[in-house]
């Protein structure tokens, strides 16, 4: 069984079940992984050429990290594209490469994915009421379905750094409209942390690798820590005083 399924239960409490006593109020304001579906919308190569508010390399890396997170913790993932045979271009291939469980929903020319009956049906059939959405462009492909889903009663989060717009101005005005409508802006790193919740889990090292994608400097932190431990262990071995260390699984990840 996936460790995420063991850690969290669909009881509405969003508490951690890892055999450790936790505060009963912890997690109540956070995303519940048992009630969540990830929607990656229109991450298309043609649209990428007009993204100016974030580096396209960062956008693609963050989007890939979200897809890998979904695959790791068995989070439902729905993807779609707006006329992939046209100038908007095909979806970035990384998503389906790292998350083969992703469900692709074709559209019939609708700009707003929420106008497509099959797309909405697919979302509803997950039974989840919390949507995490990212896409290109933020002010269209993300905003339109986010507002419609919010109006329909869903809890909606938008991952800003896994989305992109033609300008900083477009991004800022879209962010204002999100907050006015009650759509919650967030980041790739925050989503990962919110669904992660504890290092006391067997897939902690794999989660640490996702942090390295969302924040590449985190890799340097782990590498320097691991190297310092190796040096200290070597000293103790030479002195005949080897000490057994206990570290979080994340810090045991070796550089690749």
- Catalytic residue positions, numbered: 141
As a whole number of Å, the CA-based R_g of the chain is: 20
| Torsion region of 223: left, alpha or beta (phi above 0 gives left; psi -120 to 50 gives alpha) | alpha
* Both tokens assigned to 24: 């009963």
CB 132 within 8 A of CB 159: yes
* Both tokens assigned to 84: 């992939």
Sheet holding 155-159, edge to edge: 103-106, 77-81, 36-41, 130-135, 155-159, 184-186
Q: Which of 126, 197, 146 is nearest to 40 (CA)?
A: 146
Distance CA 144, CA 84 (A): 19
């Amino acid at each position: 069984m996936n460790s995420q399924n063991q850690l969290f239960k669909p009881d509405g409490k969003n508490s951690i079940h890892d055999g450790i006593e936790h505060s009963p109020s912890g997690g109540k304001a956070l995303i519940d992984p048992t009630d969540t579906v990830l929607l990656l919308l229109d991450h298309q190569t043609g649209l990428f050429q007009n993204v100016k508010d974030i580096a396209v390399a960062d956008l693609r890396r963050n989007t890939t990290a979200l897809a890998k997170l979904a695959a790791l913790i068995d989070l439902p993932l729905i993807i779609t594209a707006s006329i992939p045979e046209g100038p908007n271009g095909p979806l970035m291939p990384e998503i389906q490469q790292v998350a083969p469980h992703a469900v692709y929903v074709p559209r019939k020319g609708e700009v707003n994915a929420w106008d497509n009956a099959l797309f909405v049906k697919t979302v509803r059939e997950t039974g989840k009421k919390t949507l995490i959405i990212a896409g290109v462009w933020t002010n269209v492909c993300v905003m339109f379905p986010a507002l419609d889903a919010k109006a329909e009663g869903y809890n909606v989060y938008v991952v800003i750094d896994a989305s992109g717009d033609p300008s900083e101005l477009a991004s800022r005005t879209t962010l204002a409209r999100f907050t006015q409508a009650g759509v919650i802006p967030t980041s790739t790193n925050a989503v990962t942390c919110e669904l992660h919740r504890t290092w006391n889990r067997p897939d902690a090292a794999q989660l640490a690798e996702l942090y390295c994608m969302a924040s590449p400097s985190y890799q340097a932190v782990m590498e320097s820590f691991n190297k310092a431990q190796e040096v200290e262990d070597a000293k103790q071995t030479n002195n005949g005083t080897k000490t057994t260390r206990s570290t979080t699984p994340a810090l045991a990840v070796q550089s690749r």
